[in-house]
Amino acid sequence: MSRVAVVGAGTLGNGIAHVFAQAGWDTALVDVSREALDRAVKTIGANLDRQVKKGGVTAAQKDETLGRIKTSTNLPNLQNLEIAVEAATENPDVKYKIFRELDAAAPAAAILASNTSSIPITNIAAQTKRAPQVIGMHFMNPVPVMQLVEVIRGQETSDETVKEVVKVAEVLGKTPVVVNDSPGFVSNRVLMPMINEAMFCVMEGVATPDAVDTVMKLGMNHPVGPLALADLIGLDTCLATMEVLHHDLGDDKYRPCPLLRKMVAAGRLGKKSGRGFYDYRG
């Protein structure tokens, strides 16, 4: 049986663990918080229940999927590990520490992947002694539903690692797209400035959040408006991503909107905190 470790049990981490376990992988889900791990398993169970109701999986397959997930508050024995996927908070220091620990604990042949949405893979790989085996695997939220996996090749990532990760993404039922390392890659370099500009429209009184989102949905055929999407992603994650783009690309067009900073400072992080541009407390 193939073996994966997913480090970070937040929204994306639990989704990544879900799709690996559902595809038959022995899955270790690791987080420093036992509460986060318990919440993650509960979320995976609820998402599987929805799949059962829709006829996507059977009740037996749901039980098998949950049975493949083992949780831990520290890195478990990583023998026979084929790949580790880090999905921790979008903070370079946190990610660097995790990669140093994974590099020391994982078998020499294991691939180390990051689900970062903006931090350069080359910088992450430099924390390890296996840069050719370090790669980006950027899943989209919600992971069980979204088709794309952005596969990011760092400066030192080998062709063999890229080939293996593309194959893994396909086994998970995803569509991998290979891109080169650059802050924000393609997805967030294009998406986040649009979301940021939508926030400027609200801050400057051009339109209400609902009006901005309706224009983008009905006029541009977006399935969800940029501000509702920001709430789903998490405004703290949006801010962290914009800060990386602004710092690493050095262009003021990536300056985070002051309203975004204010909302994050106030704890209005979007759906996960109950309030963002919209109210989810009802």
First to last CA, the chain: 44
Is residue 246 among the annotated active site residues? no
Of the candidates 14, 47, 117, 196, the residue annotated as catalytic is 117
- What is the DSSP-derived secondary structure letter of residue 90? S
Would you state the structure tokens that stand for residue 53, as one six-digit string? 């109701």
Is residue 117 among the annotated active site residues? yes
Is residue 72 among the annotated active site residues? no
Where do the DSSP E strands lie in 11-107? 26-30, 69-72, 83-86
Q: What is the largest CA-CA distance in the chain?
A: 56
Of the candidates 82, 86, 90, 150, the residue annotated as catalytic is 150
Is residue 138 among the annotated active site residues? yes
What is d(CA 71, CA 74) in angstroms, rounded to the nearest whole number?
9
Of the candidates 123, 188, 196, 273, the residue annotated as catalytic is 188
CA torsion 91-94-95-100 (nearest 10°) is: 160
Cβ neighbours, 10 Å, residue 93: 8
Residues known to be catalytic? 117, 138, 150, 188
